């Protein structure tokens, strides 16, 4: 009986010690650590590849625009995809912000990050969904900067009239809507 209990105890200890979680990856160079080409928290502490004002997007007609062009107005950069439920929920609220504050005071750009598979879906989506702001496609520097910490969508960046970040939101729901409204008010005041 003692021998069976001892064997059982040793078995449990051996199994328990072999199931410990693996250690976090360790950087062996000054390149950010990534797993499956996705940045980890080590990458989020790296500096952006260029200043935010120089980051850009391409509109539907192929025109190139920079974040710095938004200065003078409060601005919202909304990173979304057609297949994203919370993104769809956020659009009417973004439309209401333009209606409330006026296009002379606030600019909103819907930056599609759904990938090549999502691009063909956009025309159908626009026919079904009222959008009071333009749709565009962000450059890699802007995508990498916004998604350095998390890759959830929507992600919504609020900029003040000087082009400085007021706040950034991940997801959308009633509490985020309230916080987004407060951030827009702060952006308009600056």
Model pLDDT for residues 116-163, shown as the tens digit of each residue? 999 999 999 999 999 999 999 999 999 999 999 999 999 999 999 999
Q: Where are the domains of the chain?
A: 55-189
- Residue 47 has a pLDDT of 65
| Better-predicted residue by pLDDT, 4 or 181 | 181
Does the pLDDT of residue 35 top 70, yes or no?
Answer: no
Q: What is the 3-state secondary structure (H, E, C) of the chain?
A: CHHHHHHHHHHHHHHHHHCCCCCCCCCCCCCCCEECCEECHHHHCCCCCCCHHHCEEEECCCCEEEHHHHCCCEEEEEEECCCCHHHHHHHHHHHHHHHHHCCCCEEEEEEECCCCCCHHHHHHHHHHCCCCCCEEEECHHHHHHHCCCCCCCCEEEEECCCCCEEEEEECCCHHHHHHHHHHHHHHHHC
Burial of 95 (0-12, 13-18, 19+ CB in 10 A): middle
Q: What are the beta bridge partners of residue 155?
A: 79, 170
pLDDT band at 164 (very low <50, low <70, confident <90, very high): very high
What is the pLDDT confidence band of residue 190, given thresholds at 50, 70 and 90? confident
Q: What is d(CA 116, CA 55) in angstroms, rounded to the nearest whole number?
A: 20
CATH code of 55-189, in short, is 3.40.30.10
Model confidence over 42-95: pLDDT tens digits? 334 446 778 999 999 999 899 999 999 999 999 999 999 999 999 999 999 999
Q: What is the dihedral of CA 9, 13, 16, 18, to 10 degrees?
A: -140
């Amino acid at each position: 009986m003692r021998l069976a209990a001892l064997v059982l105890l040793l078995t449990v200890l051996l199994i328990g010690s072999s199931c410990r979680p693996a250690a976090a990856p360790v950087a062996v160079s000054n390149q950010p650590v990534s797993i499956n080409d996705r940045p980890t928290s080590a990458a989020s502490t790296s500096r952006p590849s260029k200043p935010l004002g120089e980051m850009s997007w391409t509109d539907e007609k192929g025109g190139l625009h920079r974040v710095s062009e938004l200065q003078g107005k409060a601005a919202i950069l909304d990173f979304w995809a057609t297949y994203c439920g919370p993104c769809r929920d956020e659009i009417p609220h973004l439309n209401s912000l333009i209606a409330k504050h006026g296009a002379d005071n606030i600019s909103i750009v819907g930056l599609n990050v759904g990938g090549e598979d999502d691009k063909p879906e956009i025309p159908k989506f626009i026919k079904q969904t009222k959008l009071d702001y333009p749709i565009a496609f962000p450059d890699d520097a802007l995508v990498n900067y916004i998604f350095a910490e998390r890759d959830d969508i929507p992600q919504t960046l609020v900029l003040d009239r000087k082009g400085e970040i007021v706040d950034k939101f991940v997801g959308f729901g009633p509490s985020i809507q309230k916080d987004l409204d407060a951030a827009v008010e702060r952006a308009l005041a600056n």
